[in-house]
Chains A and B, each alone.
Chain A
Amino acid sequence: MSRTLAIFTAVTRNWLRSRSGLFFSFLFPVIFLLLFGSIFSGNGSSTYNLSVQNNDLGPGGHSALSKQFIQALNSTKVLNLKNVSSTADIASYTRNASSFVNGNPRVLVIPEGFQANISKGLPVALAYFSSPADQAAPVVAGVISSAANAFNFIIAGAHPLISFSYQSTSVKVLRQVDYYIPGITGAFMMTNGVIGLTNIATEFKRRGITKRLSATPLTKLDWILGNVLSQAVLAIALTAVMIALGVGLFQSAVTIDAYTVVIVILGALLFSGMGMLLAGLVKDPEAASGLGNAIAFPMMFLSGTFWPIEIMPKFLQQVAQVLPLTYFADGLRDSMILNNTSAATTNIMIVGALAIVFVGLGALVTRWKEK
């Protein structure tokens, strides 16, 4: 035990005194949090641009009904409307208004005879132009379509029977920043193990430090426990920093409870086990570092740490299901923001089982005796 503690103290000190170690394990996640937090700390009240070309002209200018329709769109408060002259050609307008930053403009065209046809009870067709690459285009289409439906009801003299009010399922009011804090914390605990510890362990091996220690009464178990313990303490420290920043700077609703502490420790074990496994399998430090990156980065982005898994294509969702970080990040969210103890318990069990497997494999491939 005293040997484990000596190893723990030494490797932790060695890590904390490394500028790159500190940068990647603390500063980098903090920068991520600040960036994501600043971008997403609002309540999602974004507006979308829409250019409108009103071609329904009468002798006295635009028809009353077409103006009412535009007014209805405006009152949704979701759209930022821009007028396009009725003489403009849509194709050339789109070309001219396109920019790298804003992308292609979305254009709604109100046809000539809009008011006249509706008055006669004849159908009219609105034309909506958008780029296929425009991810917000369907959202805007939905807004236009509900405005049109509202008009249809009025014209038909019908009263809508189904209505709904928008409520959040969580007791607390959650914002996107609340989603990111556990995600970023989890993602960087993963990189600390899979990239950071892999680098350190291969470096220790290459320089003969592990071998020199193995010539003392230190056992392989002492060595592994010392390293894993160091990772666990760093992970708790990282979690505390992220929560403090989240609450202090972004008024995030994240909290820390016993479930959080348990899953953070298990996660640290899991990812340091992965680091040990990589370091044990790959001799060359550079190859190990490359492999660590190749594993860590896809895992980081596919595990629902930065965006929900549901928005990804089906096959990537299947990939996410086998990534350990998925369950770890999920468990962190359950405990840190959702306070869903039963879901947290399930994830704790999954992460715990994976931790046993990976620490076991890591110990198996860590060589304490040469061939």
Chain B
Amino acid sequence: MPEATITVEHLVKKYGDLTAVDDISFEVQSGEIFAFLGPNGAGKTTTVEILECLRPPTSGEVRVLGQSVTDRKGVEQIKKRVGILPQEFAALDRLTVEENLKLFAAMYDKSASVSQLIDMFGLRDKTKVRFTNLSGGLKQRVGIAASLVNNPDLVFLDEPTTGLDPEIRRATWQIINDLRKRGKTIFLTTHYMDEAQELANRIAIIVKGKIATIGTPEELIAKFGGEKLIVFKNGGDSLFGTLHRFFDNVSNVNGDVTIPYTDVRDLQVALSAMTERGIRAEMEIKTPRLDDVFLKLAGFRITEGGEAR
């Protein structure tokens, strides 16, 4: 089996008394999108910056593209072959999009065609626009383009859509999915559940510097998401009373009556009982999502801004 693209074993990062990353281990395989999902301050960016050779680890073994991040020669090799989108990417304000991309390209011995990147990211009509005059979404797009100027094998995207409006987030997801199709390995950090679910092949849930679990979104949901539920909107007390006779686990929260869904027979039983008594209610089947996995593992949810709630 070939060596994994990233191998992290017992990584610890301390700042004085504070342990930002607390003994984590994981592997990222070539060609996958691997997401680090967690709230602000969980240690996501610290981990990414150690992988990018921007911070030294306190202890543990970290290998990226077969090289150690603590080895001088290794760092040189890694820096040539990785692409980086930092949190809140910024470039030189008074240089144009094209000039900034050319600046980044000039940092590498071999670089991709800046002109092709401009076309790929739909920046053709913005080439002569100064970075400072771009919208947040466009700045981020320039940042992703800049992360690809060296044709990297591995791309780190640290919170790539934080602060962007929903439409631009979706467009950015499209770009990231396209990167995977072109064979890039992607290490993504995010505090957005939907982003991890939409993009990641595998997710590591990180809470307070520790990895709570790692797996594909489906595995995580199957393992920690809990059961599917049938929800009758505004079913009220009469429906609750009716269903209570057939099911053990009926709940009534603010008039919404909920029963567990194990197979289709549950639905048949519930509907026939309702028809018999002439009760009508809007119904939906609720499948567990990553939010539920996260809540179960972390004990809290994450706000839009990335804070633990």
Contact = CB atoms under 8 A, between A and B. Distances in A.
Contacts of B159: none
B53 interface: yes
Interface string A211-255: 111111110000000000000000000000000000000000000
B106 A2 contact: yes
B107 A3 contact: yes
Contact of A371 (B53, B55, B89, B99): B55
Interface stretch (B90-98, B260-268, B273-281): B90-98
Given A14-B95, A18-B94, A215-B84, A369 B107 contact: no
A211 B106 contact: no
Interface in B82-135: 82, 84, 86-95, 99-100, 102-104, 106-109, 130
B153 to A, nearest CB: 15
B90 A217 contact: no
B15 A371 contact: yes
Contacts of A14: 92-95
With most chain B CB atoms within 10 A of its CB, the pick from A214, A216, A369, A370 is A216
A89 to B, nearest CB: 67
Give the dominant DSSP class at A's interface: helix
B80 interface: yes
A10 interface: yes
A370 B15 CA distance: 11
Contacts of A103: none
Contacts of A209: 90-92
B49 interface: yes
A364 interface: no
Interface in A4-19: 6-7, 10-11, 13-14, 17-18
Nearest to B107: A216
B52 interface: yes
B107 A6 contact: yes
Nearest to B46: A370
Interface residues of B, number: 34
Contacts of B87: 208
Interface string A6-47: 110011011001100000000000000000000000000000
Contact of A370 (B55, B103, B130): B55
B103 A10 contact: yes
A290 to B, nearest CB: 22
Interface residues of A, number: 24
A3 B130 CA distance: 22
A215 B52 contact: yes
A11 B82 CA distance: 24
Nearest to A17: B94
B54 A217 contact: no
B150 to A, nearest CB: 8
A18 B131 CA distance: 13
Contact of B54 (A2, A10, A207, A211): A211
A11 B93 CA distance: 10
Contacts of A13: 94-95, 99
B59 to A, nearest CB: 15
B79 interface: yes
Contacts of A6: 102-103, 106-107
Contacts of A214: 54
A17 B76 CA distance: 33
Nearest to B15: A371
Contacts of A212: 84, 86, 89-91, 146
A370 B53 CA distance: 9
B241 interface: no
A2 B86 CA distance: 24
Given A3-B106, A216-B107, A217-B76, A369 B54 contact: yes
B56 interface: yes
Given A14-B93, A17-B94, A217 B88 contact: no
A212 B107 CA distance: 11
B81 to A, nearest CB: 10
A10 B56 CA distance: 29
Contact of B49 (A2, A216, A218, A370): A370
A3 B80 CA distance: 14
Contact of A208 (B90, B100, B103, B106): B90
Contacts of A10: 92, 95, 99-100, 103
13 contacts: A2-B106, A6-B102, A7-B103, A14-B93, A14-B95, A18-B94, A209-B90, A213-B107, A215-B52, A215-B54, A215-B79, A216-B104, A216-B150
Given A216-B150, A217-B80, 10 more contacts: A207-B90, A208-B86, A208-B88, A208-B90, A209-B90, A212-B84, A212-B89, A212-B90, A215-B84, A370-B54
Closest 3 pairs (CB-CB, A-B): A6-B106, A216-B107, A17-B94
